[in-house]
Amino acid sequence: MQVQGKASNQGAQIFIGDLHPSVSESDLFQTTSKYGQVVYIRVLRHIDTRISLGFAFVSFTDPIQANTARVELNGLDIKGKHIRVMKYCKERDPEANLFINNLPEGVTSKELDNLFSPYGSILSTKLVYDSNERPRGYGFVQFEKQESAKLALESAKNLELNGSRLIVEKFVPMKERNDLSNNRNLYVRGFDSSLTDEDLHKRFSTFGEITSHVIMKNEFQGQPRYFGFVCFDTAENARKAASDMNGRAEGNFTWFVVPHMKKALRLAINKANYQKKIEEWKRRNLYIRGIPTSIDEEKLKKICETYGQVESVLIPKTENVKFEDGRQIKEMTPRGIAYVCYVKAESANKALAVLRDTSLEGNKLFVAHWKPREEVAKLVGMMKMRKIQSQMWEYGMMGNMMGRGRGMRVPGFAAARPKAEAPSQMLITQPFVHYPPPAQPQPVPQPQLPFNISDFNAASADIKKRMIGEAVYPQVLKNSSQQIAGKITGMLLEMDNAELLGLLQNPPLLLIKVQEAIEVLRKAWSTNPDLLKLLDAK
């Protein structure tokens, strides 16, 4: 359902976000029409899949109706998700946005709106919920004007809601929050249960004014662990506290004080650092295959130290079971491979150049730079794909030759020719029979490209990719589903244009490509059940 007659007055329009994907225009009409005459509703959807993007626009005839709907509907639970309703505004002032913390349990968006509306006109109030739609205890208030936000900040030092004292601060964008030099919040650890909130405040207040602090407790490896957070008024004071307190021993514990980071940021930093290590290992680490069972890690290390300082040596082993005198004996047997990591990449390169032509106890060694398992799997998959593609091209060429009435030649085999015999040596055992000439093979129709090849050759690189993508997507959609067809098309577009043109003219090969892309996604999404469901959707 889409109500026609879009309102020309933007002040009478509201934005609704955080919608459940199943919410339709008719659902929103039933919800919003209680507050006034609705003239326009639109749920934005994906251009290809038509799946809801999770937000919509609703227009009323009167701005007062729109504002009433914003206040009353904001935070409403619709189909298991708390919606976010705000006035429509093309540009919001980032300086007019406030961060509200320490919200009491059970507070509603309407209560938050009523609390801050005396300071000025509000565009939106938002409470933050987790994946289970449970409140996280903080939210945001976006004013229309910066002056209103400043007034609220000045007046909110002793602001309370349902008996809980609120912490009201200016909203800091994610980019600035991720910049540790601008971080005012510290994560502290190392103390035990004897430290109180007052002790924590007293210890850190020597570095500057503290806006908030808290001590928390959880379990770590079966033991209670105490930690806390200290937020200063300025980032400079926080840096001084972290520099002075981190690693300081006091009494029976040692302080651990660092800038606070959200879990997502910590994971991103750890992932980036680990990726750097992998790139370094790829230069310094060697993979060796063909190691005799008599060579242990100590012997292999002595051999490899000839080319430079070795950091580590690993010979993987497999547990085998054998029986002696009726007894079961387990033993670890080398797998014949090894990993040797050098301190310097130059040493690894030198060892690679020499050891690849070396034999140990008659075993020819295979030596290469180490690669992570994901890269090896991708490389093997590409080799298999190229082999299949090569075979398919051969069959495609045979079909073309048959269509032109030529003989079929199998690569690697020469055509057999009968030996000529003298007429006197020919023995006729059957009467001569006139056979009709063999039927000529019918031409095999080749799939045509959906665009003019001359126009394609004359186009720019970006236009060529777009033309191929528009032609490949319908074929991919036939062999997959709407949920993943776009993803697979993007994967295929990483191939060369020549290969993609071959796929368009060879549907069986395109089907194989799609199936292999699905298997790649299945492995990549193996830990995400929600994404795996997309692979089985039709």
The rounded Cα 265 to chain-centroid distance in angstroms is 14
**DSSP result, 248-296:** -EETTEE-EEEE---HHHHHHHHHHHHHHHHHHHHHHEEEEE---TT--
Output the pLDDT for position 435: 45
Output the pLDDT for position 396: 54
Q: Tell me, what amino acid is at 408?
A: M
Provide the pLDDT confidence category of residue 177 given band limits of 50, 70 and 90.
low
Least confident of 30-39, 165-174, 364-373, 512-521: 165-174
Mean pLDDT of 399-411: 42
Mean pLDDT of 223-242: 89
Task: Quote the radius of gyration of the chain (alpha carbons, Å).
Answer: 36
- Rounded distance, CA 92 to CA 89, Å? 7
DSSP 18: S
Output the pLDDT for position 494: 82
Q: Quick check: do 10-172 and 373-404+450-538 share a fold?
A: no
Task: Pick 190 or 524 by higher pLDDT.
Answer: 190
Mean pLDDT of 313-324: 85
Provide the 3-class DSSP secondary structure of residue 70: helix
Domain boundaries, the chain: 10-172, 178-261, 283-371, 373-404+450-538
- Rounded distance, CA 367 to CA 485, Å? 40
The topology (CATH level 3) of 178-261 is Alpha-Beta Plaits (3.30.70)
Output the pLDDT for position 221: 78
Question: What SS3 string covers 99-127?
Answer: EEECCCCCCCHHHHHHHHHHHCCEEEEEE
Count the Cβ atoms, other than its own, within 10 Å of residue 8: 9
- Rounded distance, CA 252 to CA 262, Å? 29
Q: Report residue 364 as tokens.
A: 């020819």
Provide the pLDDT confidence category of residue 343 given band limits of 50, 70 and 90.
very high
Residue 398 predicted with pLDDT over 50: no
Q: Specify the length of the chain in residues.
A: 538
Output the pLDDT for position 1: 47
Provide the pLDDT confidence category of residue 426 given band limits of 50, 70 and 90.
very low
DSSP 36: S
Output the pLDDT for position 397: 43
Output the pLDDT for position 256: 93
Least confident of 31-40, 218-227, 236-245: 218-227
Q: Per residue in 115-148, pLDDT tens?
A: 898 999 898 899 998 888 888 888 999 998 889 9
User: Does the domain at residues 283-371 carry the CATH identifier 3.30.70.330?
Assistant: yes
8 Å CB contact between 505 and 470: no
Mean pLDDT of 218-228: 84
Provide the pLDDT confidence category of residue 447 given band limits of 50, 70 and 90.
low
Output the pLDDT for position 412: 41
Residue 418 predicted with pLDDT over 80: no
Provide the pLDDT confidence category of residue 154 given band limits of 50, 70 and 90.
confident
Output the pLDDT for position 382: 85
Across 348-352, 435-439, 512-516, the highest mean pLDDT is recorded for: 348-352
- Measure the N-to-C terminal CA separation of the chain; round to a whole number of Å: 25
Output the pLDDT for position 402: 41
Q: Report residue 27 as tokens.
A: 């659902």
- 475-480, long-range: CB < 8 A, 24+ apart: 475/504, 475/507, 475/510, 476/510, 476/514, 479/510, 479/511, 479/514, 479/515, 480/514, 480/518
Question: What SS3 string covers 400-438?
Answer: HHHHCCCCCCCCCCCCCCCCCCCHHHCCCCCCCCCCCCC
Least confident of 239-253, 272-286, 333-347, 419-433: 419-433
Q: Per residue in 262-301, pLDDT tens?
A: 787 788 888 888 999 999 999 999 999 999 988 999 999 9
Q: Report residue 142 as tokens.
A: 């976006």
Output the pLDDT for position 159: 81
Residue 346 predicted with pLDDT over 60: yes
Mean pLDDT of 47-52: 86
Burial category of 237 from C-beta neighbours within 10 Å (exposed 0-12, middle 13-18, buried 19 and up): buried
Mean pLDDT of 410-419: 42
Classify domain 10-172 by CATH architecture.
2-Layer Sandwich (3.30)
Output the pLDDT for position 8: 53
Least confident of 353-357, 390-394, 397-401, 516-520: 397-401
Choosing among 1.10.1900.10, 3.20.20.70, 1.20.58.480, 3.20.20.80, the CATH entry for 373-404+450-538 is 1.10.1900.10
Output the pLDDT for position 442: 53
What is the maximum alpha-carbon separation in the chain? 123
Mean pLDDT of 336-340: 93
Least confident of 207-221, 274-288, 392-406, 520-534: 392-406
Q: Look over the chain and give the mean of its residue pLDDT values, rounded to a whole number.
A: 82
Q: Tell me, what amino acid is at 314?
A: L
Phi, psi of 63 (to 5 degrees): -60, -30
Mean pLDDT of 90-113: 86
Burial category of 56 from C-beta neighbours within 10 Å (exposed 0-12, middle 13-18, buried 19 and up): buried
Q: Tell me, what amino acid is at 418?
A: P
The rounded Cα 171 to chain-centroid distance in angstroms is 27
Residue 422 predicted with pLDDT over 70: no
Mean pLDDT of 97-122: 88
